[in-house]
Structure 1
Amino acid sequence: MAWLRDPDRPALLTVVFWLVLGATVAVNLMLPSTVPVRVLFFADVVLLCGLWMVMPWRPGRGRLLVTPVFLAGTFALGLVGAAGTHAPLALMGVANLALVYGMRTAAGILAVFSAILVITPPVFYGRTLVQTLADLAVIAVLGVFSMGMASAVLRARQLAERVRELTVAEERARLAAEMHDSIGHHLTVIKLGLENSERFRERRPEAAWEEVRQAKELTQAALADARRWVRALRPLALNGDLGSAALQNLASSFSGTGVTVTFEVEGMERPLGPDTELVLYRVLQEGLTNAVRHAEATSVRGTLTFEKRRIVLVVADDGKGFGQGHGFGLSSLNDRVTALGGRLISGDKAVGFELRAELPS
């Protein structure tokens, strides 16, 4: 049911929608009407309320036929007693078309809508041409506003996506360097150990076998590190997902580690900035990795909470707790959280270990 709290739905437009719909209902109740027409009116209102909650606000999110049905519903309001107050609702549908289908499609729909407004009032409602043109002028102003707002949102999305791509590229480069240092160190030590075993095999066979045993352990550690780094790098592309969806995918990627991982979202989700999104991603990754590598945990629970003025991510496990919270990973993570104006809290609990990141929204 995450689509009910779609973070791509503009908050201001949502407020305007409910205000206009409320005003339309109030005007209808004050005007005389027959019972059948009023029943049709309120059935249409209920339909629009439901459609508004499920309308997509980004391409590729499915439910693409919802917007045309929504537009048809707004037109139907004009036929069952909306008294002209329904026009802004239709323009909201046009703005949604621009966000989902593109500006050209929305412009074409708006042109058709304007033509309908020119023809319908004189034919069905007896309005004069002057009155119709006056109504059309108001609609034109609202239409330009709606299209302009949609264009601004599309441009902002493009810029945010570009910033996000650059941030991800920078993070991938940093992780690649760290992976090179980590695995390179293991391989260097393994190479030296095997060289020692060759020297010792004749004179000190026990020492030679000890070197081989240590090389084997280091090989296993290097392999585990490689798998962790691959897991870290691969989800970094986020598979096109944003916000909680990316975090959910990260949590799911740890399902094969033998630890039960759950992830939940609380509160009304809203869009995250690229830096905030990436830091939250790293906090969850660090918490999951620590639980798997050090805590001997059997379960980990991640909770992302959208509060009024901040976003809180808590990663808690049921492991042994000690030996965590002082490594380079958490120190580096703390610096990144602090740089965004937040704070990172980590420490043992009654059961297990908890990592908590609080970031301003």
Structure 2
Amino acid sequence: MNEDRDAILQAVSSAVLAVTRHLSVREVLQLIVRSAGQLLDARYAALGVPDEEGAFAEFVAEGISPEEWDAIGPTPRQHGMLGAMLREGAPVRLPDIRRDARFEYWPRAHPVLKDFLGVPVLDGDEVLGILFLSNKRASGGFTEADQRLLTMFAAHAAIALTNARLYERGRELALVEERTRMARELHDAVTQKLFSLRLTAQAAASLVPRDPARALEEIERVERLAGEALAELRAVIVELRPAELGRHGLAETLRKHVHLLDRLHPAAFTFDEAPVGALQPATEVVVLRVAQEALHNASRHSAARAVGVWLGCRGGRVVLEVRDDGPGFDVTAAAGRGLGIASMRDRAQALGGSVTVTSDPGRGTLVRMEVPA
């Protein structure tokens, strides 16, 4: 008996730890569902986060393939058992959901659910979502002990979900504050200079027919103001340089970014480096931005199990490689798919470097960047 209890507590602990180490709301939802299904050996598991319009802002399920989702159709509305659980905020355990008065219907392609266990994910009295399982693989359906276990897990999942929401809102607020600051800097430092530049150019144009010498003086002033405006703009652009680069340098900033992705995604993200020495700030920014774009593509599009980043210096050139073991793709056909390849190449070429993307179906993808050190 004690061994069974210890095994259950260990399973809950492992599931909760897997959830709380992720900060993305979507990833947290997916892990809650996956962990709950594994914990109670259910064929189907799902979690719905309600919106204010009678539907679900997020709905994540395990046990249903993408093809089956396409056949089922849109995300469910807050009706039937799902709506009842949101209204009542109490656990529901049934031997057959189809025999309950609260059950209404499923879409034609929906899998047939029988035994059912659902619990609310609560933050105080607020229902953050509903977590439910169906079709337990072991005979006999869900037990009262299963209900207690899922309720305990949902309480911990609520903490993880709240934490993830706070983290994402904090990032959004920080981004808004940064945009506001940059808009103010651009207005104060550059806009007034450009306004003066325009007025001086207009004055020079009006003087050309009647006072060429004076017009030449004004044109020289235009040139000087243009140089000052360019200098001001460059200074503002330097401020756009990520603060982490100034504090930690390129390698450590990349390492931290890769480590964060490893926490946020199921794939394994790793980082290796060889010394690159001191680089110009503009070079560091470009290498970081290209790395972020390539990593974004790998995490969102590649379905890879492993993504590796390497940063080093060869032959007087900084080399960045982002490699994944995903299914690969046709690089030529992907030119217009919004993968940011053109943007990465433009950034590298601005520094006299290059970006090459090598990929074939079934062979993964390698993004390689070289720029002068």
User: Which TM-score band (shorter chain)?
Assistant: 0.3 to 0.5
Could you say which structure has the higher helix fraction? 1
Taking structure 1 as the reference length, the TM-score comes to: 0.36
